[in-house]
Copies of this chain bind each other. A is one copy, B any other.
Amino acid sequence: MLGMPAAPRSAQAFAFVAGARDGQARTGTFHTPHGAVPTPAFMPVGTRASVKGVRPDELHALGTRMLLANTYHLALRPGAELVRELGGLHRFMGWEGPILTDSGGYQIFSLEALVAIDEEGATLRSVVDGKKLRFTPEHVMALERDLGADVIMALDHCPSDPTERARVEDATERTHRWLARCVTAWQAAGGLAGGQALFGIVQGGAFDDLRARSVEAVTAHELAGYAIGGVSVGEDRAAMRRAVRAATPLLPAGKPRYLMGVGTPLDLYDAVRAGVDLFDCVTPTRHGRNHQAFTWEGRLNLRNARHERDERPLEEDCDCPACRTVSRAYLRHLAMCGEMLAGVLLTQHNLRFFHRCMEAMRTAIERGELARLEARIERAQGRTGA
């Protein structure tokens, strides 16, 4: 494996060992069968078992220690059974570190794939060929077992509008009933001894009391970790922060807390302050392909004319392949020509930036100085020229 060290096998698979604390924020180490993950950690998204344009050995060099793949998309192509036949996701994609598979719950409700939902499960259409598919908790557990990730997510019902109470309540209660069925299916397959940790997902939309009830229902199951879902689905930032702050401190301190699908550097910072440990988001990779670069001085649009003659790297102190090799002027040239190397290099830079953000947060927590990082993160969040 190209420069990627073999993962150390953990003696205490799926244990979360807490480190320093700073307010609600904490550092920690999440142990998995494919290695340990220092937290807070950001997981790049490899939807179809590929982080777009980046090889696994490159991901490791950029600081990635765990990544996410998507059950819905992989179930469509190439099929979960085929991935199992080929040795599971790690071997299939050549990534020896920890992997988490998302259950498809979010895709069901975000890709307009949903045909119908009932108590038994969801009927949806394939985005590949339009065929009808059936996703039930039991089916999703089987799919995720075939894919073979370290962490598998329960099937949840993610309400599309987090502010319409009756619908949120309905989806949240269904999420709890589906979780119970996921737990039963997962335990029947061996539970933790089967080599996979099941995480439950808290819903509850924008309603603090529903979030609290959901935490109670989800944590009633003894699981290796818990996630907060249904945020960053269209609500404004204040609503998102309130939901995260309402749910996170209620989750057990001894387990990793995973905020799904979030977000920008400032979103990550806010959530870390609330006590979140794990994140995933397409932000760094998608923005990279769209020629946007994250820096500590704000976001750069590499198509902007002001970069035309700029011989500086994206960031002087960044050790990513783009910053070590080429100038903003060259990246702008690639972006203007639509050269694929632009997306490849900017994706790598953005992933390095997100991992550096998490490193900075971990260090700040250890020093009890997380609050002092806020101004720096706010500056990174800004647009320095759209």
Instruction: Identify the A interface with B (CB < 8 A).
Output: 1-2, 48-57, 77-78, 82, 85-87, 92-94, 308-309, 311, 321, 324-327, 329-330, 332-334, 336-337, 339-341, 343-345
How many angstroms between the C-alpha atoms of A311 and B84 in the bound complex?
Answer: 12
Beyond the given A53-B341, A55-B344, A86-B329, could you list 4 further A-B residue pairs with CB under 8 A, ordered by the A residue number?
A48-B333, A48-B334, A77-B333, A94-B325
In the assembled complex, which residues on chain B have CB atoms less than 8 Å from the CB atom of A337? 48, 50, 77
Q: Considering residues A325, A327, A332, which has the most beta carbons from chain B within 10 angstroms of its beta carbon?
A: A325
Q: Are A2 and B321 neighbours in the complex by a CB distance under 8 Å?
A: yes
Q: Are B86 and A325 neighbours in the complex by a CB distance under 8 Å?
A: no
Q: Are B326 and A93 neighbours in the complex by a CB distance under 8 Å?
A: yes
Q: Are B309 and A86 neighbours in the complex by a CB distance under 8 Å?
A: yes
9 A-B contacts (beta carbon < 8 Å): A1-B324, A48-B334, A49-B330, A55-B325, A55-B341, A77-B336, A78-B329, A78-B333, A85-B309
Option from B50, B87, B329 in Cβ contact (under 8 Å) with A341: B50
Q: Are B82 and A341 neighbours in the complex by a CB distance under 8 Å?
A: no
Nearest-CB residue, chain B, relative to A336: B77
Q: Are A52 and B339 neighbours in the complex by a CB distance under 8 Å?
A: yes
In the assembled complex, which residues on chain B have CB atoms less than 8 Å from the CB atom of A77? 333, 336-337
Q: Are A82 and B308 neighbours in the complex by a CB distance under 8 Å?
A: yes
Nearest-CB residue, chain B, relative to A340: B53
Task: Give chain B nearest CB distance to A380 CB in angstroms.
Answer: 25
In the assembled complex, which residues on chain B have CB atoms less than 8 Å from the CB atom of A55? 321, 325, 341, 344-345
